[in-house]
Structure 1
Amino acid sequence: MYLRRFYDEGLAHASYLVGCQETGEACVIDPGRDIEPYLWQAKREGLRIVAALETHIHADFVSGAREMAARVGATLCVSDEGPPEWKSDYVKDYPHQRLKDGDELRFGHVRMVVLHTPGHTPEHVSYLLYDGKASPHVPMALFSGDFVFVGDVGRPDLLERVAGARGSSEALARQMFHSLRRFAALPDHVQVLPAHGAGSACGKALGAVPSSTVGYEKLVNWALQHHDEDAFVQALLAGQPEAPTYFARMKQVNKVGPRLLAQLSDPEPVELTHARVRAWRASGLVLDVRPADAFAKRHLAGSLNIPWNKSFVTWAGWLVPVDTPIHLLAGEATVPEVLRALRSIGIDDVVDWAPPTALEQLAEEEISSYAHVSPEEVRPWIDGDVWLLDVRNDDEWALGHLPHARHVPLAKLSASISDVPRDRPVCVYCRTGGRSAIAASILRAHGIADVRNMLGGYEAWRRHGFPIEP
């Protein structure tokens, strides 16, 4: 048997290629939209991908299952559990199999048994893996999707928060409690291979370790320490992070089927002239992916800065509108990577791009900037005219913040921009300076003239021993 894990750090998404080396048959579990890594690895190992297995309708990335069916004729294996409104619609256009609890799939000597494991979503299934040649009656691993993670379990509140399914959070939390009883009954040696790692918003305390075992999770996973259903439900629903706004759209995209990549046009390189700048501003969003330091010194007025790093996809999902043409400022070598990342969450309308060096040729009236300041510089301002803005999350704010600061989480800043004064300097901060730099670009794009970003953020302020309000 062959088993290979693939991990997308930007999405904190794990997927798996599993195959029988004797027959050459293989499947991919929870594939991402870019299927080239799976195809390349399968070819290298002499395998044919004959099926794409989904654990549930994903909310945080565009599934690559339809891409697999269209490109290589893979059979789509999807859940037939749960209510009718949460079944994949698009599979009817391709060879497919709708799965119920207890169904089996075979790929040569590889056997998968379907387990209905609702809790994160009502239709969620997991796949119990058997190596038919080495141990035909002893399970080897559980592909747990968003059911059980390392150290955590899938959040049950997404359908209510992002899809408007009223009252579903508690109902799914109770289903999760009973699904976990079934999980705990599996042999302790069974490996747990989840669909996400640390950084994913599909849970609240995911571990960074790529895999675990049933036995280990029974010992250390907080969710498996609860034996009272009501107490478990209360604990599971408490403290779940804010759900990214794009999750609602992803649910629908993956239900009806995403556009195929072959249907998308690649962005054209363009010369950044004065006329082009006016056209960009009139027709869409200018997205600059340079590091914050470079953007702060000199950038195209009105542009949004989301630096190209491992948090890029998260903040693009929160802040980039899906129905607006995107004009990209990025180096030529970076463009394909940024394009792949945006497409992984369904932001498909990137129409053109220009290199950041083109900014040097533009007139000064087209250019903007903002200042970086240190905590020492900010200290005298807390009782002055500077408007302090904290863009951290609610839980961070509750643990302490700068005196007299106002709180607007970064994800809600654009919607709250009318609350920000325009007749005073605005100094923005977050935990360490990354989110506040993005916020500074939003403030400048909305015409706030005097914007300052506090380097090092709240952590640097705290290390200096400066005053904090609870």
Structure 2
Amino acid sequence: MSFADDHLVPLVDEGLGNSSYLLDLGDGRALAVDASRDLRTLRSAAAGRGLRVAFAADTHLHADFLSGARQLAHDEGAAVLAPAAGRRAFDHTGLADGDDTDLGGLALRALATPGHTDDHLAYLLLDGTHALGVFTGGSLIVGAAARTDLLGADRAAELARAQYRSLHRLARLPDATPVWPTHGAGSFCSAPPGTERTTTVGAQKRTNPLLAAPDEESFVRKLLDGLGSHPAYFARLAEANRRGPGLLPDGAPALPARSPAHVRALLAGGAYAVDVRPAAQFAAGHIPGAVSIPLRPAFATWLGWLLPEAAPLVFVAEPGRPPDDAFWQAYKIGYERLAGILEGGMPAWLADGGRQAATPLLPADRAGGRPYLDVRQRSEFTAGHVPGAVHIELGSLPGREDRAPSGALVACARGERAMTAASLLERAGHTGLAVLAGGPADYAAAHGRPLVTGEEGEAAA
């Protein structure tokens, strides 16, 4: 059994595509690395092992979630370890290249690995002089390296060069060294698909295409060419993490139940109704103007990409199923103006005289005769799409609703993102829309129109 098997608990956030880590230090204490503000899973893992979190380390100023390190310091007295270059505005131990932290028998050595961000550190876990593993954050990850454009497109190439040097520094560690990245498949901070969340230095030297690049220029081109879009909220969370996320009271504040009349008043005052029910239920009937974001692992990504942080949010859920997970997903990306939940759901809304709208959800064989609007990511679109499809990524839709064709069939891979897009278009005044229940392959099979690749037919991205 390896050290990691016995002492390290990876905690995977499937929605954001990230991993945080709980390291059992062997004396009732633990180290948490890159913990999210949603600490439920981490706390459950610590409690199951009888551990108190004594150290909370962040590898960089995160852009995709609010850090839980400050909360752990408040609740458990954890010492916060973080890059000194991040200039955090709350109590912490600022680390620079080569600094060692005594964990009580083990040591954590900071390695400057800029690229994903300016302040980025990797943490080498040492038992004496023996490397037990390295927490690499957004430097060396499985099959890639994290994106370098979060500080602006004008700095992306400069930071890609720094990322090249950082990856090659880590590649000089012994081949057997376990690599424990934060970003992974599904993260908009990184691109490659796959199921592996951890790796070794040697495995990455053999298989990582960026480490296979023959020189720095080739590395930079390969990394930059692989960058797609990323959620709008990334632009503000690094600064929020630098200032320090607000502390939460013991337990999560309850979402207040709001009567239909109260919800109408909230909506009239500028609140958004966020309907977290499955897409098929939203299609059958919803509050006019509501935004459909089904409660699933990707909920936080689309909430943060599409809705303004400053607007109050009121949730619409299935009766009897309070959206606790929606609350935490909103909080972990800094959405705190949570006005409540519609008490009794849509049945109560209708019983109180509230109007409802419907959006047809059509199987592929009944979905012909309409302009086809594809809202998937560019990489998905170019890999195969319906001939003549108009392409607007879902994340690019707010503010561009006028570019969508009238009476469109809105489509993605399964229907969830498409329903979200249709709800945004309807909110902007579009009528006569329908959503495809399925994806482009289903449509192609039903209508005898083979998919095409590349960007043919693309109207907006």
Q: Same fold (TM over 0.5)?
A: yes
Residue 60 of structure 1 pairs with residue 56 of structure 2: no
CA RMSD of aligned residues (A): 2.1
One-letter amino acid of the counterpart of residue 373, structure 2: L
Corresponding residue for 1:111?
107
Shift of 1:468: 4.7
Residue 363 of structure 1 pairs with residue 353 of structure 2: yes
Aligned pairs (5 A) from 1:31-430:
31-81=35-85, 87-91=86-90, 94=91, 96-130=92-126, 132=127, 136-161=128-153, 166=154, 168-262=155-249, 265-273=253-261, 276-331=263-318, 332-354=320-342, 355-356=344-345, 357-363=347-353, 366-379=355-368, 381=369, 386-420=370-404, 424-430=406-412
Q: How far, CA to CA, are the matches of 1:178 and 1:20 in structure 2? A: 31
Task: Single out whichever of 67-76 and 31-40 deviates more from structure 2.
Answer: 31-40
Q: How far, CA to CA, are the matches of 1:467 and 1:108 in structure 2? A: 62
Shift of 1:129: 1.0
One-letter amino acid of the counterpart of residue 89, structure 1: R
Secondary structure of the 1:242 match is coil
Q: 1:35 to 1:397 in 2, by over 3 A?
A: closer
- Kept in 1, the 8 Å contact 2:279–2:415? The answer is no
- Kept in 1, the 8 Å contact 2:83–2:120? The answer is yes
Residue 432 of structure 1 pairs with residue 414 of structure 2: yes
Shift of 1:265: 4.9
- Kept in 2, the 8 Å contact 1:432–1:459? The answer is no
Secondary structure of the 1:201 match is coil
Q: How far, CA to CA, are the matches of 1:239 and 1:20 in structure 2? A: 38
TM (norm. structure 1) is: 0.89
Q: 1:395 to 1:25 in 2, by over 3 A?
A: closer
Shift of 1:223: 1.0
Q: How far, CA to CA, are the matches of 1:431 and 1:109 in structure 2? A: 50
Q: How far, CA to CA, are the matches of 2:372 and 2:8 in structure 1? A: 51
One-letter amino acid of the counterpart of residue 348, structure 1: E
Shift of 1:236: 0.7
Q: How far, CA to CA, are the matches of 2:227 and 2:417 in structure 1? A: 20
Residue 11 of structure 1 pairs with residue 20 of structure 2: no
One-letter amino acid of the counterpart of residue 90, structure 1: A
- Kept in 1, the 8 Å contact 2:36–2:68? The answer is yes
- Kept in 1, the 8 Å contact 2:263–2:314? The answer is no
Deviations 1:311-359 (A, max 9, x none): 2121111112110000111244342111011111111111111242323
Secondary structure of the 2:302 match is helix
Deviations 1:95-152 (A, max 9, x none): x21111111111111211111111111211111112x3xxx32111111111111111
Shift of 1:197: 2.3
Secondary structure of the 2:429 match is coil
Deviations 1:135-173 (A, max 9, x none): x32111111111111111111111114xxxx3x211111
Q: How far, CA to CA, are the matches of 1:409 and 1:323 in structure 2? A: 23
Q: How far, CA to CA, are the matches of 1:338 and 1:431 in structure 2? A: 23
Deviations 1:371-402 (A, max 9, x none): 122333333x1xxxx44322122333334543
**Equivalent residue pairs, number:** 443
- Kept in 1, the 8 Å contact 2:387–2:449? The answer is no
Give the % identical residues. Answer: 33
- Kept in 2, the 8 Å contact 1:19–1:107? The answer is no
Q: How far, CA to CA, are the matches of 1:418 and 1:171 in structure 2? A: 36
Richer in helix (by share): 1
One-letter amino acid of the counterpart of residue 105, structure 1: T
Corresponding residue for 2:459?
none
Q: 1:220 to 1:326 in 2, by over 3 A?
A: same
Deviations 1:407-442 (A, max 9, x none): 221112221123346xx5222122332211111111
One-letter amino acid of the counterpart of residue 369, structure 1: A
Q: Which runs of no fewer than 5 residues in structure 2 stay unpaired? A: 457-461
Q: Which runs of no fewer than 5 residues in structure 1 stay unpaired? A: 82-86
Secondary structure of the 2:152 match is helix
Shift of 1:278: 4.3
- Kept in 1, the 8 Å contact 2:367–2:436? The answer is yes
Corresponding residue for 1:84?
none
Q: How far, CA to CA, are the matches of 2:377 and 2:10 in structure 1? A: 32
Secondary structure of the 2:399 match is helix
Q: 1:102 to 1:393 in 2, by over 3 A?
A: same
One-letter amino acid of the counterpart of residue 187, structure 1: P
Select the residue among 447, 451, 454 that pairs with 2:433.
451
